[in-house]
């Protein structure tokens, strides 16, 4: 080594090592802070979902990437026509299976399906003497090739919803496994993000 060059000292190496650990600690702090911010959002505010299956054709298709709003239904109830994400009520213990369907019947209503046409009977207050309101649903989100011709009638409990897929021929829904209790509802799609040519805010929502 040339005598004119400074000789490295051990304390220089210690300083460099300490500086390296300082950067590692800073990155760990950044990651921890990011997790503390993102995890509550992930579990309580918004959550990503990918559509799998044909039960909501043509409104939603396999592979579409959704951001699901988990917050709204903590403050208000689902409305008729909302598209919702929920945990399948008959999921095996320890296994979480999620479905995407449309809300058709609301708590306390009677849902009558005849040859595929849906009629909603809304009860009136006891002793009011008025006739229950009857509404035949207009369902423009159902393509003719996806219409069904089934028939059934069911009255919903105070926390129950009747849900169906837009593809009535290929949907496992309340017609097969009964009403959906509110406690299973996760949220609603607030953004359809991918593919980009299908981008939409509150995709699929329809209110008469």
CB-based contacts of 9: which residues, under 8 Å, 6+ apart?
A: none
Per cent of the chain over pLDDT 70 is 75
Clarify whether residues 61 and 156 are in a common domain: yes
Clarify whether residues 39 and 92 are in a common domain: no
Q: Count structural domains, the chain.
A: 2
* 154 assigned to some structural domain: yes
Clarify whether residues 162 and 94 are in a common domain: yes
- DSSP-assigned letters across all residues of 116-168: TEEEEEE---TT--PPPEEEEPP-TTS-GGG-----EEEE--TTEEEEE-SSG
Condensed to tens digits (0 to 9), the pLDDT of residues 135-158 reads: 999 999 999 999 999 999 999 999
Q: Which of 10, 38, 61, 101 is catalytic?
A: 101
Residue 182 annotated in active site = no
CATH number of the CATH domain containing 135: 2.10.109.10
* 2 assigned to some structural domain: no
Clarify whether residues 26 and 58 are in a common domain: no
pLDDT in 10s for each residue of the chain, 208 residues: 444 444 445 555 545 555 567 766 666 665 554 444 444 444 445 688 999 999 999 999 999 999 899 989 999 999 999 999 999 999 887 788 999 999 999 999 999 999 999 999 998 776 566 788 899 999 999 999 999 999 999 999 999 999 999 999 999 999 999 999 999 999 999 989 889 899 999 999 998 7
> To 10 degrees, the CA torsion angle through 103, 109, 113, 119?
-90
Clarify whether residues 31 and 99 are in a common domain: no
3-class DSSP state for residue 37?
A: helix
Clarify whether residues 159 and 87 are in a common domain: yes
| CA–CA dist 148, 73 (Å, integer) | 30
Clarify whether residues 96 and 22 are in a common domain: no
Tell me what percent of the chain is helix, strand and coil, each rounded to the nearest 5: 25, 30, 45
Find the domain containing 39 and state its range: 11-44
Residue 101 annotated in active site = yes
* 203 assigned to some structural domain: no
What pLDDT is attached to residue 114? 95
What pLDDT is attached to residue 123? 85
Condensed to tens digits (0 to 9), the pLDDT of residues 2-11 reads: 444 444 455 5
Clarify whether residues 98 and 127 are in a common domain: yes
Q: Which of 55, 112, 148, 174 is catalytic?
A: 55
């Amino acid at each position: 080594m040339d005598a004119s060059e400074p000789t490295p000292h051990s304390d220089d190496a210690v300083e460099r090592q300490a500086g390296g650990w300082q950067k590692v600690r800073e990155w760990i702090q950044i990651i921890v802070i990011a997790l503390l911010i993102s995890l509550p959002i992930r579990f309580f505010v918004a959550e990503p979902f990918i559509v799998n299956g044909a039960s909501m054709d043509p409104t939603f298709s396999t592979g579409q990437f959704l951001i699901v709003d988990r917050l709204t239904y903590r403050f208000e109830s689902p409305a008729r026509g909302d598209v919702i994400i929920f945990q399948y009520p008959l999921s095996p213990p320890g296994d979480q299976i999620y479905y995407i369907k449309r809300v058709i019947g609301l708590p306390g209503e009677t849902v009558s399906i005849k040859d595929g046409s849906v009629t909603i009977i809304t009860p009136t207050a006891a002793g009011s003497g008025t006739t229950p309101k009857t509404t035949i649903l207009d369902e423009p989100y159902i393509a003719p090739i996806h219409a069904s011709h089934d028939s059934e009638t069911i009255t919903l409990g105070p926390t129950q919803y009747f849900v169906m897929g837009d593809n009535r021929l290929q949907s496992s829904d309340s017609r097969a496994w009964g009403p959906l209790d509110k406690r299973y509802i996760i949220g609603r799609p607030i953004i359809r993000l991918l593919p980009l040519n299908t981008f939409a805010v509150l995709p699929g929502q329809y209110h008469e």
